[in-house]
Amino acid sequence: MITNISSVLIWSDDYKKLAKWYKEILGLEQVEEITHPNDTGIGFQVGNVYLWIGQHSKVKGKNKDIHRHMINFVVDSVSKSYKELQKKGVKFFAKPFKAPTFDKYFVTFYDLDDNLVQLIGGK
């Protein structure tokens, strides 16, 4: 029945500010912006996944349940990415650590709305 994940959506009451953060801090490339009254946001293509950061009338303020979901982005080197993000003033939830069950490393941090974001990759 299900064959793929179409996209990941992040809703925000200030989608432009949040999308700008993903562009400037994570270096994501914007592929579109839609400003329809019932469908407003900015899209990014990340590998074969579409990431949508959009406006939603039911979303106000920062995420109050940060552990409910997390987005993982693949990087070559977690420690190198960690150092780059530190220079950009990113607020971290967990410093780089090795996965307990396989040979990958992680680092976890917050975006502007306090959503958890994680990088996974080599040391």
What predicted TM-score, i.e. pTM, was given to this entire model? 0.93
Residue ranges covered by each domain of the chain: 1-59, 62-123
- The tens-digit pLDDT sequence of the chain (123 residues) is 999 989 999 999 999 999 999 999 999 999 999 999 888 999 999 999 999 999 998 999 999 999 999 999 999 999 999 999 999 999 999 999 999 999 999 999 999 999 999 999 999
State how beta strands 70-77 and 105-110 pair.
unpaired
| CA neighbor of 117 nearest in space, from 55, 60, 51 | 51
Residue 37's pLDDT is 86
Q: Which CATH class is domain 62-123?
A: alpha beta
Residue 7's pLDDT is 96
The residue type of 78 is: V
Q: Same CATH fold, 62-123 and 1-59? A: yes
Q: Which CATH class is domain 1-59?
A: alpha beta
Q: Is the dihedral of CA 53, 58, 64, 65 positive or negative?
A: negative
